[in-house]
A and B are shown apart, each in its own frame.
Chain A
Amino acid sequence: MNPSLKKPRESMDLSNSSELTQPTAFPDEVLEKVLSLVESHKDRNSASLVCKYWYNAERWTRTKLFIGNCYSVTPEIVARRFPKIKSVTLKGKPRFSDFNLVPENWGADVQVWLDVFARVYPFLEELRLKRMAVTDESLEFLAKSFHGFKVLSLLSCDGFSTDGISSIATYCKNLTELDIQENGIDDFTGSWLSCFPDDFASLEVLNFASLNSEFSFDALERLVSRCKSLRVLKLNKNVTLGQLQRLLVRAPQLMELGTGPFVPELTGRQYAELESAFSNCKHLHTLSGLWEATRYLPVLYAACASLTFLNLSYATIRSNEFSKLLAHCPNLRRLWVLDTVRDKGLEAVGANCPLLEELRVFPADPFEEDIVHGVTESGFVAVSAGCPKLQYVLYFCRQMTNAAVATIVRNCPDFTHFRLCIMNPGQPDYLTNEPMDEAFGAVVKTCKKLQRLSVSGLLTDLTFEYIGQYAKNLETLSVAFAGSSDRGMQCVLEGCSKLRKLEIRDCPFGNAALLSGMEKYESMRCLWMSACRVTMNGCRMLAQGRPRLNVEVIKDENSDDLADKLYVYRSVAGPRRDAPPFVVTL
């Protein structure tokens, strides 16, 4: 063994700091150079644990920061440890806030982070926020504080308006990415688009598909013409096909395109021009938008051969047009659709897309009870038969059987993400009237690489026994309206050694189940339990037993003893200092 490699380990035991500056056979520059090539934050975290020497080398070379839970650490701690950060990804609220289970003003305010970053990382270039509370003032502060700022991505955030976006457009002279997705944003006006300076030309990514307000098409056209490096352009519902053609002609280099509505309103000549524009887009690999898919879809066909990601999740497309479109997309790897395509459309997926790895089927009408359409188990089975490489599925349906799921995983044993949502809570196998235990049993027994699982339907503790016994790689589990007793949750906590995120709602799990995981929660990012049988006393016991966990209860007016919404997460920051009155930290 090379003796020079031993030196860093020997120096671990030295408390005398001068020893650390001694020249070794493995100089700082070499280690730092090597570590600077390590991108994955998981690998970097491991490297930092080797010894103090490596810890220091790693912290000086880390430029990208990933914080999965903004309350697990404070901005000050981060700033002390990492002096050279250029890119930050920050996630805030628990995922169930997407479904309105978390009251407003819960927290996750980005400003407290921006204050520290402005001081310590004046050269910050990238900020990616998910489920954070962001105000217009914060966006203006951001735009004015970081002069080299390049990338802003806001996903599922809330609290800001298009005025904040105007600040970004006005002041960020080096902006390359502006990605606004699915936020709770006050959409006042599209005038932000006109705020980009006339000489601004550095944009590479522009996604404003989720903003609906009117804007100046002229400003957009000029912007697209100037930005020669534009590779991602996702337009909103206000862009007509005629306007789309003009944009495509100026940006044939686009790799990702989100169109406006495909309303049939063109003359013959305009149609031909649009068709020609699409056929000139030789680098298009991602397509989204469409909104209303009509008989104009063939205009796209020429651009579909190279498509790997087709996102029709906001397009009401029926099985006929969908099938015809798919015939032109043999290279699809990822497909998002609405269930308006029905089982027939999914059969076309199985027939045309053998390389498919990811399928998401969203419900067009999730709250309508009398609907008889949508997709069923046969659509899912059809896809699995034709797409053996499926790894990721999100499937909303109104009926499912154990046998169908068993067939599906037999066809596709490589699932890493299996999220099945049978929309009626607690619904059994509709043919046999039995619980859906065997379905998820088949999933965990067959899919050894499973990392993420969402269960639904009528489920007993047996499902969770299966999960605990077989799902050894499971990291994220979402459970709703399921289980019979504490035992269910206990099985999962005992058996799933790699579990990081557990979110549970409306299940009969109580204090015994909660406390059985006491040893485990510090190795997880978080636990969410709402409308279960956990009491305030149980939560207090957990909090007292584990001081490094933040045990927070969101209080409901109704009952004093039941802990209505429980959120538990590990943290080196101690209890939250910004908790609103309805969040009780135990």
Chain B
Amino acid sequence: MATEMEITELRLGLPGGNSHMKEKKRVYSEITNSDQNSSNVNVNGDVYYMCQNKNEVVGWPPVCAYRKKNNFNGREGSKMYVKVSMDGVPFLRKVDLSTHKGYSELVMALEKLFDCYGIGEALEDADKSEYVPIYEDKDGDWMLVGDVPWEMFSESCKRLRIMKRSDAKVIGLGARDFLKGMSENK
């Protein structure tokens, strides 16, 4: 489990990706000019471009939307159970992400599991919510729930934690701004 310091270092961004790049369509010129994400290969005096971070390119690879929704990650069956811990609760629960189609459904399920009806507030009114749901992604980073599209979240979420707001020690940009972003991205 990550240390207190690491957990509180809230970051925006895709797992493993650049923190300054939001989930937005990238024009060809952006891809070719971005130093971090492409390498220029000189062949015969012409310059060609290799895009390494294809997760940021809309509509690529050309897999049709329906097939994308039914993405198979080689998981056993299609179940996506992750552990959920909640501050102040001595035992953990498990929730199957594949049974939910979006954040609001997940939050409802979490509220039922822990008999606690303050979690949904984080999605509605970031300033007032008592609880902050966060998750550990594939890279081991702790992320705020709600920033990225649901499918991306459910594929990269390894475990969930429902943190008490008072425990979130954030320096610099206030938690308010992060949480505001969450309600916009619902």
Contacts and interface: CB of A to CB of B under 8 A. Distances in A.
Interface of A: 96, 98-101, 156, 182-184, 210, 263, 292, 313-314, 316, 338, 340, 362-369, 396, 421, 423-428, 433-435, 454, 458, 460, 478, 480-481, 484, 505-508, 531-533, 556, 558-559, 562, 564
B40 to A, nearest CB: 11
Query: Max chain B CB contacts within 10 Å: which of A156, A458, A507, A531?
Result: A531
Contacts, number: 119
A162 B16 CA distance: 39
B52 interface: yes
Nearest to A314: B70
Contacts of A263: 77
Contacts of B59: 96, 99-101, 505
Interface in B26-73: 27-28, 31, 41, 43, 46, 48-55, 57-68, 70-73
A532 B28 contact: yes
B90 interface: no
A366 B50 contact: no
A425 B60 contact: yes
B28 A508 contact: yes
The 3 closest A-B pairs by CB, nearest first: A99-B59, A182-B66, A98-B64
B31 A506 contact: yes
Q: How large is the interface on B (under 10, 10 to 19, 20 to 34, 35 or more residues)?
A: 35 or more
Nearest to A419: B62
25 contacts: A101-B59, A184-B66, A292-B78, A316-B72, A340-B72, A365-B74, A366-B61, A366-B71, A368-B73, A369-B16, A421-B61, A424-B52, A425-B51, A425-B60, A426-B48, A454-B62, A458-B50, A460-B46, A460-B48, A480-B60, A480-B62, A508-B28, A533-B28, A558-B27, A559-B27
Contact of B28 (A316, A369, A460, A531): A531
Contact of B41 (A101, A428, A506, A564): A428
Nearest to A340: B74
A460 B46 CA distance: 9
A433 B78 CA distance: 38
B51 A99 contact: no
Given A460-B48, A532-B28, A364 B72 contact: yes
Contacts of B50: 424-428, 458
Given A425-B57, A532-B28, A365 B67 contact: no
Interface in B66-112: 66-68, 70-74, 77-78
Nearest to A458: B48
Given A367-B71, A425-B54, A484 B48 contact: yes
A481 B52 CA distance: 12
Contacts of A369: 16, 53-55
B41 A99 contact: no
Given A100-B59, A292-B77, A362-B63, 4 more contacts: A364-B74, A367-B61, A424-B52, A458-B41
Contacts of B49: 426, 481
Contacts of A559: 27
A540 B67 CA distance: 37
Query: Max chain B CB contacts within 10 Å: which of A396, A421, A426, A564?
Result: A426
